Chain A
Amino acid sequence: MNEKCRFSKTGWQGIVADVPEDWCLTTVSGDDKTGYFRIDSTSTLLLETKWSKSVGKVDLHAKLEAYLEDLKKKAKKKKQSFEYKIKSKDAESLNFTWRSDRKAQGRLWKCDQCNRIMIAQLSGAPGDDIANMASLIMPTYKDHSDDGWRIWGLYGLEAEVPPDYILEKHKLMSGYIQLIFRKQNDKIIIERWGLANTVLRNNPLRDWYMERAIYDLKAYKFKMENILFEEEQGLQITGNRSSIKEHFKSLHELAMFKKPSHKLDGYVWLCEETNKIFSIQTMHSKKENRINEILERIVCHQNE
């Protein structure tokens, strides 16, 4: 592997690993309790991660054996040989390797803080240098952050959301990423658009964003101010729920003993370094304004 290879954080549901920058998240499924994601390299290497919530004591060795035996069964069906080895690192973590038509190196561990059992494995073709790459990637795995904020890393976007916010909806399209998180009535929307030079050729950022956001923000009366983000053009959005219908919604939320999210805050900015447009919006109650903390933790580009 090229020593100059740059790494970026990639992962899903707060589980991230540092992988080479050109590796991409290709499959995601599940939620924070049970789920799976897969990251593909540009060649034959691929990194897979599986997790499941588990409270109480778990026999990790039995769990790993069951997983590897299942793989063995699948290999047997394809009439392929399958060999595996398990090495115990400590009571909370087991390393394993297997070899069939592909080969893999991985780790199974239980995190007592987030109560999740994790299996991570890097697999590749028989000729691939897996050991070297696994030694670079496996130690970088993080299944939770120290302060409870959940890290999300995909296609070069690194963001963190406050604890208790659950992913409600996501769109991963070529040139557009949208992540929507919800905690009761509060909402965080993180968006990123590619090809900024093309989309902003005939439109200033303000007009372009208004065209996109007018439908989503129609429930709010808001103002948009031009600001500068480290010499890059940006917009600050602040607003409140506007119409009578929306105020009735707030009353309904109050009646359900939930704080109404009648405030809107947001930032939109152009990152010329990566040629992308970023947007963060929060719809929140008066006390739950986390927009500046989210903004501080978002990485739009890595400095050289």
Chain B
Amino acid sequence: MSRLQNIVSQYVPFVRKKSTHTREDVLRSKPTRNPVLEWERTSDVEIKLRIPQRNDYIGRMLCKVFHAPSHKEILLDEVGSDVWEICDGTNNFEAIVNAMCKKHKITRRECEVSVGMYLKMLGERKLLGFQLGGRKKK
């Protein structure tokens, strides 16, 4: 039943289970860059992401018809680049927030909110994934 629900929920939003992650789960989660992406530092402060277009038959055909480039590029600003660089799968959300607080001297709350929103946006665009550690056994 659960497996069926998982499959159906990919296409039918209201069947989707509500997220039950606590604040602690989120703080422990480790954002990890999508390995398909290529990225490079274009200057001291900016990072350029290269996102490949879909490589199946339809994707290749659409690229040919519309003369679309093989990659989409996104330029991250200074703060965004700093966050992107730390998201290597070894640092959890809390560590990222701490690092950004220290570097840019912003309050923890401000940092948590803005870094959280930014990571959520990257996650929605499938540029990042989140490794959730298992809960500790009591």
User: Could you list which residues of chain A lie within 8 angstroms of chain B, going by C-beta atoms?
Assistant: 22, 24, 26, 40, 42, 155-156, 174-175, 194-195, 197-198, 201, 274-276
B58 CB–A CB distance under 8 Å: no
CB of B98, distance to nearest CB on chain A (Å): 11
Pick from A156, A174, A201: contact of B113, CB below 8 A: A174
Pick from A155, A198, A201: contact of B110, CB below 8 A: A155
Name B71-88 residues within 8 Å CB distance of A.
Answer: 78-79
Contacts of B104 in A (CB 8 A): 194-195, 197-198, 275
Listed A/B pairs (12) with beta-carbon separation below 8 Å: A22-B108, A24-B107, A40-B109, A155-B109, A156-B107, A174-B106, A174-B113, A175-B110, A175-B114, A194-B104, A194-B105, A194-B106
B45 CB–A CB distance under 8 Å: yes
Q: Are A174 and B105 in contact (CB under 8 A)?
A: no
If over half of A's interface residues share one DSSP class (helix, strand or loop), that class is named, otherwise mixed; here it is: loop
Q: Which residue of B lies closest to A24 (CB)?
A: B109
CB of A44, distance to nearest CB on chain B (Å): 10
Pick from A22, A24, A26, A276: contact of B105, CB below 8 A: A276
A184 to B128, CA, bound (A): 52
User: Could you list which residues of chain B lie within 8 angstroms of chain A, going by C-beta atoms?
Assistant: 45, 78-79, 104-111, 113-114
Question: Number of contacts between A and B (CB, 8 Å)?
Answer: 38
Contacts of A26 in B (CB 8 A): 109
Contacts of B105 in A (CB 8 A): 194, 274-276
A159 to B45, CA, bound (A): 34
Q: Which residue of B lies closest to A23 (CB)?
A: B109
A24 to B108, CA, bound (A): 8
A24 to B107, CA, bound (A): 8
CB of B108, distance to nearest CB on chain A (Å): 5
CB of A284, distance to nearest CB on chain B (Å): 31
CB of A195, distance to nearest CB on chain B (Å): 5
Q: Which residue of B lies closest to A26 (CB)?
A: B109
Shortest beta-carbon contacts, A-B, top 4:
A24-B109, A275-B105, A174-B114, A174-B110
Contacts of B107 in A (CB 8 A): 22, 24, 155-156
A80 to B138, CA, bound (A): 24
Contacts of A275 in B (CB 8 A): 104-106
Q: Are B79 and A198 in contact (CB under 8 A)?
A: yes
Q: Which residue of A lies closest to B44 (CB)?
A: A201
Contacts of B113 in A (CB 8 A): 174
Q: Which residue of A lies closest to B77 (CB)?
A: A198
CB of B119, distance to nearest CB on chain A (Å): 14
Contacts of B108 in A (CB 8 A): 22, 24, 42
